[in-house]
Amino acid sequence: MIDTSEGSGETSGRPLMTYTFIVICCVIFVLGPASGLNPEYGTGGELLQAQSAYFERWGVIPSALWTGGPDQPLTPLTALFVHGNWLHLLGNMLFLYVFGAMTEERMGRVQFALFYLATGYLALLGYAAAHAESGQTLVGASGAISGVLGAFLWLFPRARVTSLFPFLFFMPLRFPAWAVLVFWVALQWLAARQADDRPGVAYLAHLVGFTLGFLYAWARFGRTARVGGAARPSEGESQP
Mind telling me the catalytic residues? Answer: 142, 206
Rounded distance, CA 135 to CA 62, Å?
6
Question: With 0-12 CB in 10 A as exposed, 13-18 as middle and 19+ as buried, what is 193?
Answer: exposed
Rounded distance, CA 150 to CA 67, Å?
31
Nearest to 147 by CA among 63, 48, 74, 76: 76
Sequence-distant (6+) residues with CB within 8 A of 62 are: 127, 128, 129, 131, 132, 133, 134, 135, 136, 138
Longest dimension (CA), the chain: 55
Output b/e per residue, 66-100; b: 16+ Cβ within 10 A.
eeeeeeeeebbbebbbbbbeeebbebbbbbbbbbb
Q: Are 159 and 177 in contact (CB under 8 A)?
A: yes
